[in-house]
Amino acid sequence: MEGVAGPSFSSVEEVLTVVSPAVRVDGPVRVLPRVGQERAVVHVLNLACEPARDAVRPLYDLELRVDVDALGVPGSSSARVLSAVAAPIRLVVRDGRLVFPDVGLWTLVVLEGR
């Protein structure tokens, strides 16, 4: 684009060294953030499958690191957590971190801006 200055990269690998995901987690989990107007939703999918039992192993004390600014919800200090098998709960966002007591097959995290 003419007239636009910025960094120049020669490969995708080079770009990925300077990009930080808005949501990060360690463990057998896939996170899929979706950003809306004054709200972000993060789908948390547990991939700890036990094929012999046709089941998913629950994960305990799972930590999700979120960049609330990048997700479009600056100042968000708590999240609603929804699951198909448990009552909704609210978690506190501390230093960009959420700690889930347990995660089953699928969990939905709703962060709202101030």
What Cα–Cα distance (Å) separates residue 74 from each residue in 2, 45, 92, 94, 108? 32, 24, 14, 13, 19
Residues 89 and 92: their CA atoms lie apart, in Å, by 10
3-state helix, strand, coil in the chain (%, to 5): 5, 50, 45
Which residue from 73, 70, 65, 25 is spatially nearest to 45, judged by alpha carbons? Answer: 25
DSSP-based three-state secondary structure for 15: helix
Q: pLDDT under 50 in the chain at which residues?
A: none
What type of residue sits at position 52? A
- pTM to 2 decimal places: 0.82
Q: What is the pLDDT of residue 17?
A: 80
Q: Does domain 21-112 have CATH number 3.10.450.50?
A: no
CA angle at 12 for the pair 32 and 29, rounded to the nearest 5° = 25
Q: What is the pLDDT of residue 53?
A: 87
Q: What is the pLDDT of residue 15?
A: 78
DSSP-based three-state secondary structure for 72: coil
Sort strands 89-92 and 106-112 into parallel, antiparallel or unpaired. unpaired
